[in-house]
Chains A and B, each alone.
Chain A
Amino acid sequence: MSLLDSNKTVMNDSLMMDVKNLSIQFGGLKAVDEVSFSIRKNEIFGLIGPNGAGKTTVFNMLSGFYQADSGEILFANQNITSLKPHAVNKLGAARTFQNIRLFKGLTVLENVVVAMQQKHEHMWHDSLLKTEKFHKLEKELVEKSIDLLKIFNLDQFKNDQADSLPYGSQRKLEIVRALATGPQLLMLDEPAAGMNLSEKAALKDLIHFIKNKFNLTILLIEHDMKLVMNICDRIAVLHRGKKIAEGIPADIKTLPVVIEAYLGKKVI
Chain B
Amino acid sequence: MQEFFQHTLNGLSFGSIYALVALGYTMVYGILGMINFAHSEIYMMGAFMCFYLARFFGFNTPSPMNFTLGLLGAGLATAIIGFSVEKLAYKPLRNSPKMNSLITAIGVSLLFQYGGQIIFGADPKSFPTLIEDAALFELAGIQIHLIDLIIYGVSFASLAALSFIILKTQTGRAMRAVSSRPDMTPLMGIDNNKIISMTFIIGSVLAGIAAVLVSIKYPKIDPLMGNKIGMSAFVAAVFGGIGSLHGAVVGGLLLGLGEYYVLGYGASTYREALSFCILILILIYKPTGLFGSNKKEKI
Write the residues of chain A forming the contact surface with B, with a CB cutoff of 8 angstroms.
56, 60, 65, 97
Interface bits B256-299 vs A (CB < 8 Å: 1, else 0): 00000000000000000000000000000000000000000001
The minimal Cβ–Cβ distance linking B99 to chain A, given in whole angstroms, is: 16
The minimal Cβ–Cβ distance linking A218 to chain B, given in whole angstroms, is: 20
* B interface size (C-beta, 8 A): 1
On chain A, the residues within 8 Å of B299 by CB distance are: 56, 60, 65, 97
How far, in whole Å, are A65 and B297 apart by their CA atoms in the complex?
Answer: 11
How far, in whole Å, are A148 and B299 apart by their CA atoms in the complex?
Answer: 27
On chain B, the residues within 8 Å of A60 by CB distance are: 299
Report the tally of A-B residue pairs with Cβ distances under 8 A: 4
How far, in whole Å, are A94 and B182 apart by their CA atoms in the complex?
Answer: 34
How far, in whole Å, are A30 and B299 apart by their CA atoms in the complex?
Answer: 18
Top 4 closest A-B pairs, CB basis? A65-B299, A60-B299, A97-B299, A56-B299
How far, in whole Å, are A207 and B98 apart by their CA atoms in the complex?
Answer: 39
Closest B residue to A85 using CB positions: B299
On chain B, the residues within 8 Å of A65 by CB distance are: 299
How far, in whole Å, are A14 and B299 apart by their CA atoms in the complex?
Answer: 31
Q: List 4 A-B contacts (CB under 8 A).
A: A56-B299, A60-B299, A65-B299, A97-B299
How far, in whole Å, are A60 and B296 apart by their CA atoms in the complex?
Answer: 12
How far, in whole Å, are A97 and B297 apart by their CA atoms in the complex?
Answer: 14
Closest B residue to A56 using CB positions: B299
On chain B, the residues within 8 Å of A56 by CB distance are: 299
How far, in whole Å, are A186 and B174 apart by their CA atoms in the complex?
Answer: 45
The minimal Cβ–Cβ distance linking B297 to chain A, given in whole angstroms, is: 9
Interface bits B175-204 vs A (CB < 8 Å: 1, else 0): 000000000000000000000000000000
Closest A residue to B296 using CB positions: A26
On chain B, the residues within 8 Å of A97 by CB distance are: 299
Closest A residue to B298 using CB positions: A99
How far, in whole Å, are A60 and B299 apart by their CA atoms in the complex?
Answer: 8
The minimal Cβ–Cβ distance linking A158 to chain B, given in whole angstroms, is: 28
Closest A residue to B293 using CB positions: A27
How far, in whole Å, are A45 and B220 apart by their CA atoms in the complex?
Answer: 73
The minimal Cβ–Cβ distance linking A265 to chain B, given in whole angstroms, is: 25
How far, in whole Å, are A56 and B299 apart by their CA atoms in the complex?
Answer: 9
The minimal Cβ–Cβ distance linking A85 to chain B, given in whole angstroms, is: 10
How far, in whole Å, are A108 and B113 apart by their CA atoms in the complex?
Answer: 47
